[in-house]
Amino acid sequence: MSESAPRPTLEAVAARAGVSRATVSRVVNGFDGVREPLAERVRRAVDELGYVPNQAARSLVTRRHDAVAVIVAEPETRVFADPFFARQLRGISKELTAHDNQLVLLLTEDRDDHARVARYLAGGHVDGALVFSLHIDDPLPGLIQRAGLPTVFGGRPHWNGGEDGVRYVDTDNRGGARDAVRHLLSLGRSRIAHITGALDQTSAVDRLDGFRDVMADPDPALVEEGDFTAASGERAMRELLGRRPDLEAVFAGNDLMAAGALRALREHGRRVPDDVAVVGFDDMLPIAEQTEPPLTTVRQDIEEMGRLMARLLLRDLEPGTAPDETAGAGPSGVVLPVTLVRRASA
């Protein structure tokens, strides 16, 4: 009882079914070339013994692991605390398990971790990697690229993704920003301010670009940089109100900053949306619904993003694909659509 029953091996199944190991292997892996009466006998033996293949032994010879690393480079608690991460993971997980792949999670915070991650990837424990790295000075993408593993990035990487066939999935930040600003225009507002996110992240840059697309040559006084936190949104809003008391609307780079902006507006006696209309980004629940008033915002399908990343990666891992020449086949960057969600704030 204290000796846990030794797990049955292929050998044991073969013996019980009265066939060779090779035949059992064929049946277990669904290869054809085994005729029915025999195959059935093997399947019964597998059931009776409760046989489960030893993945280590299998990997040793196939050099596949059916496992994918998900690497999240997040030194800051902020992003970690938001629900995005969980949703993306969920999407990734669904897609991976649908294809019998495991998800190995690597969270990194500092430089030391980078070495560890690099070593892990070089160790060949996984077949590919999904990488979330937001900041411009992050050495991680380089390290990973060097490891030579098939990789898909979450969010457009900095080094001009698409260039050398770097695969990534991103939301349509720029288009979403345009939608948001156009919506404000359609409300009859013309003096529209923008609170940017942390501009060392492509998402923030793209949203700013979208804002500029529509506002063509906006008053610099109407743009203030934030860092995606509520506190920064509040501060930025005060700044903006000081510079342009006549502003009629704000497009915040995310919902958290929008929430902060709402507080500053309330503090300054501005009514939302009557005096100032506010639009956020992300549709970050439950924040976006809980603010006063609830936020009009740009929703991205974050779970789908995860799913898509996984799908792209798995496609690269298929035996057909050339191992090194990942470029060329298929799109290197995929951009997911967004939708404007109208609530009370604009």
Question: CA 111 to CA 325: how far, in whole Å?
Answer: 29
Tell me the window of 26-34, 81-89, 310-318, 335-343 that interacts with a copy of itself (CB under 8 A): 81-89
Segment 24 to 43, residues that bind a copy of itself, using CB under 8 A: none
Question: CA 202 to CA 199: how far, in whole Å?
Answer: 7
- Both tokens of 281, joined, read 């980004």
Does residue number 131 form part of the binding site for a copy of itself (CB under 8 A)? no
Residue whose CB is less far from a copy of itself, 195 or 230: 230
Cβ atoms 21, 34 nearer than 8 A: no
Work out the angle between the directed axes of helices 230-243 and 255-267 (0-180°, nearest 10): 50
Does residue number 119 form part of the binding site for DNA (CB under 7 A)? no
Cβ atoms 58, 273 nearer than 8 A: no
Question: CA 86 to CA 80: how far, in whole Å?
Answer: 9
Q: Which does 322 bind (CB under 5 to 8 A by kind): DNA, a copy of itself, none?
A: a copy of itself
User: What DSSP element (H or E) covers 168?
Assistant: strand 167-171
Residue whose CB is less far from DNA, 32 or 112: 32
Cβ atoms 308, 169 nearer than 8 A: yes
Question: CA 346 to CA 340: how far, in whole Å?
Answer: 11
Tell me the window of 35-43, 91-99, 169-177, 242-250 that interacts with DNA (CB under 7 A): 35-43
Does residue number 46 form part of the binding site for DNA (CB under 7 A)? no
Cβ 47 to DNA, closest distance in Å?
15
Does residue number 9 form part of the binding site for DNA (CB under 7 A)? yes
Q: Which does 15 bind (CB under 5 to 8 A by kind): a copy of itself, DNA, none?
A: none
Tell me the window of 25-33, 109-117, 212-220, 336-344 that interacts with DNA (CB under 7 A): 25-33
Residue whose CB is less far from DNA, 61 or 216: 61
Q: Which does 329 bind (CB under 5 to 8 A by kind): a copy of itself, DNA, none?
A: none
- Binding DNA (rule: CB under 7 A), the pick from 1, 2, 50, 60 is 60
Question: Hey, CA dihedral for 269, 272, 278, 279, is it positive or negative?
Answer: positive
Cα→Cα distances 115→64, 104, 258, Å: 23, 17, 37
User: Does residue 286 have a cis bond before it (omega within 30 degrees)?
Assistant: yes
Please, which residues bridge with residue 334 across strands?
A: 169
Q: Which does 4 bind (CB under 5 to 8 A by kind): DNA, a copy of itself, none?
A: a copy of itself
- Both tokens of 105, joined, read 């999670």
**Strands of 216-265, DSSP E:** 223-225, 249-252
Does residue number 43 form part of the binding site for DNA (CB under 7 A)? no
DSSP per position, 254-309: SHHHHHHHHHHHHHTT--TTTTSEEE-SB--TTHHHHSSSPPBEEEE-HHHHHHHH
- Binding DNA (rule: CB under 7 A), the pick from 15, 43, 49, 53 is 53
Cβ 71 to DNA, closest distance in Å?
23
Does residue number 319 form part of the binding site for a copy of itself (CB under 8 A)? no
Q: Which does 103 bind (CB under 5 to 8 A by kind): DNA, a copy of itself, none?
A: a copy of itself
Count the Cβ atoms, other than its own, within 10 Å of residue 94.
13
Tell me the window of 78-86, 135-143, 186-194, 214-222 that interacts with a copy of itself (CB under 8 A): 78-86
Question: CA 194 to CA 171: how far, in whole Å?
Answer: 19
Binding site for a copy of itself (CB under 8 A): 1-2, 4, 7, 50, 52-57, 59-60, 65, 67, 70, 80-83, 85-87, 89-90, 93-94, 97, 102-107, 113, 116, 119-120, 122-125, 148, 230, 256, 259, 285-287, 289-292, 322-325
